[in-house]
């Protein structure tokens, strides 16, 4: 009898199967909880363990966050008003219902332990309970929920985000010819996801922006070290999702070897950062390399393991004494079978006598029909008759068969048990692996910015936190210029000071009005994540302004750029 039960529910927001083309994208499952003063809003990526939560004031804010996250599934506490449900279902999203438990489990309590806002704690609890009910397994890789405030980042509604072609081209829906396409020189999948996150949520904090710019400048000033870092990152697999697979229990031997290969790159990466020696990179120069996990994998898992973890052949010789004993029995049995075959050929004079094995009949002696008259009487017990041969067995062969099959079964079973023990040991280090993955992803994005800044001759602005002047000299639309290739892009200026806070832009069709406006917005967005390259004259002042027509809100910098350079802000 085979036990039948539902072991996992796979939904659009919980799928763990990532296609190669989507490796640099998150698959966010979101949760929305209506309350008297707005909505609790939380989201997670089951494959990476990320968990974020906030408190939103309006349904418009909720739908804008859903659009920014490209969420395919929204968890809600029950039936909603038709108007609310219809707005949440836009873009083919599905709504899944989950009641909120008054007695959270230990896993839920761990995730919400840092939350002070009751609404935020309840919406995360609802989301976690949905994951536990659908996945039906440990979710140890889900990180503690981190509150965030959308107003802490550059605010863009879905129309502005789409029309600016930030993550995809608005006409084709593809990455090509978008800002992300231009800036993405990341070497790892997790770095690509972090780059998308930085572009979706550009910084507003002046200190954070300038600090990130200093980090990019450090990589720009050290070409050879940056090249070495990129080479090392090329050999780093997706640490975030590998850690998630370990915790989820569906990791295999090849995944563990990828994890070990990735961890092996960390000493070289740290050496590179030490040689750069810039203080702005101190957060990355003291990484926990998790070397003990790499050592465990190297000591236990064969270099080229099979895909299946239940069929044996995955644990190295010398790692487990009992497993080695079973393998020695099997090795000796093979030698015994060869010697037994030779012995029987000599005793019977049948030179083509064979000792063979099938899964149905086990081990047997096979003699062709033409040689049956040579078989000594009462020497063998008949086991099976074929068209061209007879199969026999003996008490001695049967006893050896029992020994071999027992050793094979015990070996395979023990090997799987050993593998699960190794997996559990690695699982105990999930938090360390996730922290390391976040740091490596950050390094990847910073080197990507530096590479693009060098290739495109982008300029780093200097800023002050006061005023609202904008002064861009010989600015260029970064994506249009890249698409044009060798064709010269005609630079243009933007000057807005305290006495001019609005520009009326007129001109005939196809004269570049929208390109001019989008150029300014992209310059502001690119300035936020930090990038840079060449020194410029000191900048200016900044102040939050908004454009009612597009719904775009941003902090405008004053930027002065030498006439010979392109504008990267």
Express each pLDDT in 354-394 by its tens digit.
999 998 889 999 999 999 999 998 899 999 999 999 999 99
One-character DSSP codes across 1-18: -----------TTT----
Q: Are residues 148 and 213 in the same domain?
A: no
Number of helices (H), then strands (E), belonging to the chain: the values are 18, 14
Asked if residue 306 belongs to a domain, the reply is no
CA distance 396 to 366: 15
Which of 281, 234, 241 minimizes the C-alpha distance to 261?
234
Q: Give the separation between CA 363 and CA 309, rounded to whole angstroms.
A: 26
Q: Are residues 199 and 132 in the same domain?
A: no
pLDDT digits (tens, 9 = 90+) for 303-323: 999 999 999 999 999 999 999
C-alpha span between 199 and 273 (Å, rounded): 25
Q: Is residue 534 situated within a structural domain? A: no
| Helix (H/G/I), strand (E/B), else coil: 169 | coil
The mean per-residue pLDDT over the stretch 525-537 comes to 47
Closest CA to 195 of 181, 211, 208, 210: 181
Lowest mean pLDDT among 162-171, 221-230, 383-392, 502-511: 502-511
Spacing of C-alpha 155 from chain mean position: 26
Question: Which residues on adjacent β-strands are paired with residue 97?
Answer: 76
Residues 6+ apart with CB under 8 A from 301: 253, 256, 257, 260, 314, 315, 316, 422
Region 96-107: mean pLDDT is 88
Tens of pLDDT, residues 421-457 = 999 999 999 999 999 999 999 999 999 999 999 999 8
- Residues near 238 by Cβ (< 8 Å), separated by ≥ 6? 23, 188, 189, 190
Task: Report the candidate in 547, 540, 466 with the shortest Cα–Cα distance to residue 501.
Answer: 547
DSSP state of 156: -
Cα 481 from Cα 385, distance rounded (Å): 80
Could you list the residue range(s) of the whole structural domain that residue 97 is in? Answer: 20-152
Residue 538 lies in a domain: no
Of 133, 152, 171, which closes a domain?
152
Q: How far apart are CA 429 and CA 140, in angstroms?
A: 10
Show Cβ contacts of residue 51 under 8 Å, excluding neighbours closer than 6 positions.
42, 43, 44, 111, 124, 127, 142, 143, 144, 145, 146
Integer Cα distance of 141 and 432 in angstroms: 11
Give the separation between CA 254 and CA 258, rounded to whole angstroms. Answer: 6
Instruction: Please check whether residue 314 lies inside any domain of the structure.
Output: no
Residues 83 and 106 in one domain: yes
Domain at 231, CATH number = 1.10.1420.10
> Which tokens sit at 447?
């080197």
SS3 labels along 171-187: CCCCCCCCHHHHHCCCC
pLDDT above 60 for 560? no
> Do 147 and 240 sit in the same domain of this protein?
no
* Structural domains of the chain, count: 3
pLDDT at 496 over 90: no
* Same domain? 26 vs 146: yes
**In the predicted model, is pLDDT for residue 543 greater than 50?**
no
The span from the CA of 280 to the CA of 376, in Å, is: 87
357 strand-pairing partners: 363
Sheet holding 354-358, edge to edge: 354-358, 362-368, 389-393, 381-385
What are the start-end ranges of the E strands in 217-361? 354-358
Confidence class for position 103, pLDDT limits 50, 70, 90: confident
Asked if 24 and 148 sit in the same domain, the reply is yes
Residue 212 shares a structural domain with residue 336 = no
Dist. CA 74–CA 33, nearest whole Å? 10
C-alpha to C-alpha distances, 117 to 64, 107, 112, 142, 283, nearest whole angstrom: 22, 19, 10, 20, 29
pLDDT exceeds 50 at position 160 = yes
How far is C-alpha 201 from the chain's CA centre?
18
CA-angle at 246, arms to 244 and 252, nearest 5°: 120
Residue 47 pLDDT > 80: yes
Residue-wise pLDDT for 460-494, tens only, equals: 877 766 677 788 888 889 999 999 876 788 889 98
- C-alpha–C-alpha distance, residues 139 and 401, integer Å: 43
Q: Confirm if 45 and 145 have CB atoms less than 8 A apart.
A: no
Contacts of 415 (CB under 8 A, 6+ apart): 312, 313, 314, 315, 323
Report whether 283 contacts 439 (CB < 8 A). yes
Q: Are residues 224 and 345 in the same domain?
A: no
- Locus of tokens 């600015």: 475
Structure tokens at 275: 């040689």
Residues 403 and 335 reside in one and the same domain: yes
From 404, 439, 454, the end of a domain falls on 454
Helix (H) / strand (E) element for 31: namely strand 28-35
Q: Is residue 72 part of a domain?
A: yes
345 and 405 share one domain:
yes
Output the furthest CA–CA distance in the chain (Å, rounded): 116
Read off the pLDDT band of 242 (50, 70, 90): very high
pLDDT at 537 over 80: no
Helical H segments across 362-429, by residue range: 395-427
Tokens of 260: 């070990």
Contact 520, 475 (CB under 8 A): yes
> 250 and 209, same structural domain?
yes
Residues 6+ apart with CB under 8 A from 304: 257
Picking from 223-237, 288-302, 426-440, 528-542, which range would have the lowest pLDDT averaged per residue?
A: 528-542
Rounded to 10 degrees, the C-alpha dihedral 29/34/40/46 comes to -10
Does one domain contain both 25 and 119?
Answer: yes
pTM: 0.83
């Amino acid at each position: 009898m085979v036990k039948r039960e539902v072991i996992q529910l796979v939904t659009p927001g919980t799928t763990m199967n990532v296609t190669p083309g989507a490796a640099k994208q998150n698959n966010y499952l979101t949760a929305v909880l209506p309350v008297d003063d707005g909505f609790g809003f939380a989201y997670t990526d089951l494959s990476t363990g990320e968990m974020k939560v906030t408190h939103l004031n309006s349904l418009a804010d909720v739908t804008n966050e859903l659009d920014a996250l490209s969420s395919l599934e929204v968890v809600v506490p029950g039936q909603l008003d038709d108007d609310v449900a219809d707005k949440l279902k836009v873009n083919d999203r599905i709504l899944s219902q989950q009641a909120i438990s008054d007695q959270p489990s230990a896993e839920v309590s761990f995730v919400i332990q840092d939350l002070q806002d009751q609404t935020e704690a309840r919406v995360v609890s609802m989301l976690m309970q949905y994951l536990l009910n659908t996945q039906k397994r440990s979710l140890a890789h889900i990180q503690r929920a981190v509150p965030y405030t959308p107003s802490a980042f550059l605010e863009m509604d879905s129309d502005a985000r789409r029309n600016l072609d930030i993550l995809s081209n608005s006409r084709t829906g593809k990455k090509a010819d978008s800002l992300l396409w231009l800036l993405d020189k990341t070497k790892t999948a997790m770095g690509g996801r972090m780059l998308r996150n930085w572009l979706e949520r550009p910084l507003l904090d002046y200190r954070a922006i300038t600090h990130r710019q200093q980090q990019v400048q450090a990589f720009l000033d050290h070409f050879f070290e940056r090249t070495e870092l990129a080479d090392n990152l090329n050999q780093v697999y997706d640490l975030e999702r590998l850690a998630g697979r370990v915790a989820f229990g569906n990791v295999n031997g090849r995944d563990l070897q990828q994890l070990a290969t990735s961890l092996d790159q960390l000493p070289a990466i740290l050496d590179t950062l030490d040689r750069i020696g810039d203080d702005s990179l101190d957060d990355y120069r003291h990484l926990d390399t998790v070397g003990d996990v790499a050592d465990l994998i190297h000591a236990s898992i064969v270099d080229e393991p099979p895909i299946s973890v239940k069929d044996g052949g995955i644990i190295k010789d010398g790692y487990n004494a009992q497993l080695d004993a079973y393998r020695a029995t099997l090795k000796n049995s093979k030698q015994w079978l060869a010697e037994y075959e030779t012995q029987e050929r000599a005793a019977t004079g049948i030179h083509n006598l064979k000792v063979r094995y099938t899964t149905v009949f086990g081990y047997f002696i096979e003699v062709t029909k033409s040689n049956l008259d040579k078989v000594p009487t009462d020497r063998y017990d008949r086991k099976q008759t074929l068209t061209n041969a007879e199969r026999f067995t003996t008490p001695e062969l049967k006893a050896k068969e029992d020994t071999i099959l027992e050793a094979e079964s015990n070996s395979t079973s023990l090997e799987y048990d050993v593998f699960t023990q190794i997996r559990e040991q690695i699982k105990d280090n999930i938090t360390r692996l996730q922290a390391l993955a976040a740091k490596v992803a950050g390094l990847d994005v910073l080197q990507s910015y530096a590479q693009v800044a060098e290739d495109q001759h982008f300029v780093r602005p200097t800023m002050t936190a006061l005023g609202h002047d904008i002064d861009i000299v010989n600015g260029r639309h970064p994506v249009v210029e890249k698409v044009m290739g060798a064709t010269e892009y005609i630079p243009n200026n933007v000057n807005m000071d305290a006495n001019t806070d609005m520009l009326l832009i007129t001109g005939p069709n196809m004269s570049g009005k929208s390109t001019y406006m989008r150029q300014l917005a992209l310059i502001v967005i690119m300035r936020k994540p930090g990038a840079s390259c060449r020194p410029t004259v000191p900048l200016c002042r900044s102040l939050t302004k908004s454009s009612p027509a597009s719904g775009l809100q941003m902090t405008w910098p004053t930027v002065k750029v030498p006439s010979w350079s392109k504008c990267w802000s």
